[in-house]
Amino acid sequence: MAYGLLIDGVLVAGAATIDVINPATGEVLAAAPRASTEQAEQSIAAAGRAFPAWSKLSFAERGAVLERLAEALRPRVDEFARLLTREQGKPLDQAKYEVLGAIAALDYYAAQELLPKVLRESAKERIVEQRYPLGVVAAIAPWNFPLLLMVLKVAPALITGNVVIAKPAPTTPLTTLLFGAVAADILPPGVLQTLVDQNDLGGLLSQHPGIAHVSFTGSTPTGKKVLGSAADTLKRFTLELGGNDAAIILDDADLTKVAPSIFRGATANAGQICLAVKRVYAPRAMIDDLCAALGKLASEAVVGNGLEQGTSIGPVQNKAQFEKLLGFIAEARSEGTIVAGGEPLPGPGYFIAPTIVRDLPDDARLVREEQFGPVLPVLAYDDLDDAIARANDSDYGLGGTVWTGDVERGIAVASRIESGTVWVNKHLDLPFDVPFGGAKQSGIGRQQGIEGMEDFTQARIVNAALS
């Protein structure tokens, strides 16, 4: 299949191409079009031309277009899922879940509306807060959930009246390009466009005066660069960045229930989730049993090509991340105890056996940094206050979990965790109507919910005298 960039309503070739690697084989899957600076400028200009007409439509009119886009995707779920597995690596059932999630997001936002809020009304005055769209949005998505995370930017931006330039990660551009090809027949020219780069156009987009808002999901170091680039034009931005999410197990928790949830939370999508469980704190008396349970789950996991039936954990998405994880494991082996895994799998592809590590010091890299892979440190605590302090002793604050047999006690502990989201006895529950975002260096702004929609708009206060 030939892939094209969507620019001004037309699918076009790039100025060059990028080889997209299948992480399960290490071989070239496809050649993706790579946009030039000139094509990026064309895209920004086309978006600027499209914005006035799109922004003047009502929410209902824009919602009808989004629903048509969702309807066009429904019969192609399997096609998108297979492509997603081949470019990203996740097992096919997880890929299908992601595609269905993207369609559900379009359905959800198609029905939303931001209504004016009456702040004060009397015989003498009426004060109303209105919301209006910002303009051209640059949506920059990462490689771990390339379709869903892109749509979770595109849908709220479009329904609120903005136009969008979608820039996927260079290692996973294909599902975004296919999404653009579907949208080309539905959305007016310039309303949604797709640009693929080799990580060389992000600065242009974030600095460009024709871009009003940058919605970025990715690593904290890159997010800092986006923030710096946006400063000169004071453009609006939403940053959903890295996490080092702590799971705190309380002494009344049932490990037979908790261990499988912790393992899934740490290894789903091969651990490549910003809100994944990244470190575990458990009472010292429970450590041996917990590590034994996690080690057993790791040994039973089926690691392999996501297209093969029965695979539960796919490959790491790219070679750079694969090598980074091997470095984490090598250091962890020298500082702690490998309970399970600890090795790459033989053969082609970027496969790492799910790895459980114990006995690490708190200053180990695997504890302090975001690993973004199926490698999990388990740490003991003797005092709950100390565990909470250690969990909070991080530059990150994206998410966290508390596991307990007493929900009220769990909520009390969760209320002391310095993160944007903390779950109690559950994980990765992210309904579209509930906002999420990071504390500290895990991000700025909110996604999903009314707050996420409002991030794509500007507040305007209309203050009128009535007499």
Catalytic residues: 240, 274
- Let me know: does 380 contact 367? Beta carbons within 8 Å: no
With H, G, I as helix, E, B as strand and everything else as coil, classify residue 184: coil
CA proximity to 190, closest of 356, 73, 56, 44: 44
What's the CA angle centered on 322, arms 321 and 327, to 5 degrees? 95
**Whose structure tokens read 């790219």?**
318
DSSP 1-12: ----EEETTEEE
Residues 224, 230, 231, 232, CA torsion sign: positive
In the sheet that holds 117-121, the strands lie side by side as 117-121, 125-133, 457-465
Buried b or exposed e, range 164-187, using 16+ CB within 10 angstroms: bbbbbbbbbbbbbbbbbeebbebb
- What Rg, from alpha-carbon coordinates, does the chain have? 23
d(CA 403, CA 130): 42
d(CA 76, CA 102): 12
d(CA 337, CA 156): 46
Tell me the angle at which helices 174-183 and 77-88 cross, rounded to the nearest 10 degrees: 150
Q: What separation in angstroms does the CA of 371 have from each of 149, 246, 266?
A: 20, 13, 11
Q: What separation in angstroms does the CA of 350 have from each of 145, 243, 402?
A: 17, 22, 32
Alpha-helix residue ranges (DSSP H) falling in 31-173: 37-56, 59-73, 77-88, 92-110, 146-159
Buried b or exposed e, range 224-252, using 16+ CB within 10 angstroms: eebbebbeeeebbbbbbbbbbbbbbbbee
94 DSSP assignment: H
